[in-house]
Amino acid sequence: SAAEAGLYTATDQLLPLSPDNVEPLLINSTAAVLVEFYASWCGHCIAFSPVYKRLARDIKEWKPAVDLAAIDCAAEENRKVCTAFGIKAYPTIKFFHAYSKADSKGQSFRASTHEVWVLRHRIIDKLESHEEPWPPACPPLEPTSQAEIDSFFETNNVQHLALIFEDATSYIGREVTLDLLQFENVAVRRVLSTEEGLVTKLGVTEFPSCYLYSAGGNFTRLKVNIEARAFYSYALQALPGVRRSGKPPPVAAGVVTNHTQEPWKPFNRSRVYMADLESTLHYSLRVELAAHTVIKGGALTSLREYVSVLAKYFPGRPVVTNLLKSLNAWLQNQTGDEISYEALREILDNTAQSPNTALPEGERWVACQGSQPHFRRYPCGMWSLFHVLTVQAKDAGGTDPKEVLSAMRSYVHSFFGCRACAEHFEVMAEESLVEVDTLSSAVLWLWSRHNRVNNRLAGALSEDPNFPKVQWPSPEMCPGCHSVKDNGEHRWSQPQVLPFLMSYFSSSSILADHLE
What are the residues binding ligand FAD (CB under 6 A)?
368, 376, 379-380, 382-384, 387, 412, 418, 420-421, 424-425, 447, 450-451, 453-454, 457, 460, 462, 464, 467, 472
Q: Is 45 a catalytic residue?
A: yes
Nearer Cβ to ligand FAD, position 341 or 425?
Answer: 425
Instruction: Please state, in angstroms and rounded to a whole number, the distance separating the CA atoms of residues 190 and 204.
Output: 13
Closest approach of Cβ 96 to ligand FAD, in Å? 29
Half-sphere exposure of 197 (CA within 13 A, CB side): 7
Dihedral over alpha carbons 369, 370, 376, 382 (to 10 degrees): 0
Instruction: Please state, in angstroms and rounded to a whole number, the distance separating the CA atoms of residues 493 and 230.
Output: 14
Closest approach of Cβ 389 to ligand FAD, in Å? 12
Nearer Cβ to ligand FAD, position 188 or 443?
Answer: 443
Instruction: Please state, in angstroms and rounded to a whole number, the distance separating the CA atoms of residues 279 and 364.
Output: 6
**Are 218 and 160 a contacting pair, CB within 8 Å?**
no
Q: Is 478 a catalytic residue?
A: no
Residue 91: asked if its preceding bond is cis (omega within 30°), the reply is yes
Closest approach of Cβ 463 to ligand FAD, in Å? 7
Closest approach of Cβ 460 to ligand FAD, in Å? 6
Dihedral over alpha carbons 371, 11, 420, 445 (to 10 degrees): -80
Instruction: Please state, in angstroms and rounded to a whole number, the distance separating the CA atoms of residues 163 and 387.
Output: 38
Closest approach of Cβ 10 to ligand FAD, in Å? 9
Report the greatest alpha carbon distance in the chain.
82
- The continuous run of DSSP H or E covering 457 comes out as helix 439-457
Nearer Cβ to ligand FAD, position 299 or 368?
Answer: 368
Closest approach of Cβ 283 to ligand FAD, in Å? 12
**Are 165 and 209 a contacting pair, CB within 8 Å?**
yes
Amino acid at the residue 56: A
Nearer Cβ to ligand FAD, position 463 or 489?
Answer: 463
Nearer Cβ to ligand FAD, position 147 or 420?
Answer: 420
> Strand 294-296 vs strand 338-340: parallel, antiparallel, or unpaired?
antiparallel
Catalytic entry in 45, 82, 368, 380: 45
Nearer Cβ to ligand FAD, position 193 or 441?
Answer: 441
Nearer Cβ to ligand FAD, position 360 or 379?
Answer: 379
| Residues in CB range of 178: below 8 A, 6 or more apart | 59, 61, 62, 65, 66, 124, 138, 139, 141
Closest approach of Cβ 309 to ligand FAD, in Å? 15
Instruction: Please state, in angstroms and rounded to a whole number, the distance separating the CA atoms of residues 450 and 386.
Output: 11
Query: Active-site residue numbers?
Result: 42, 45
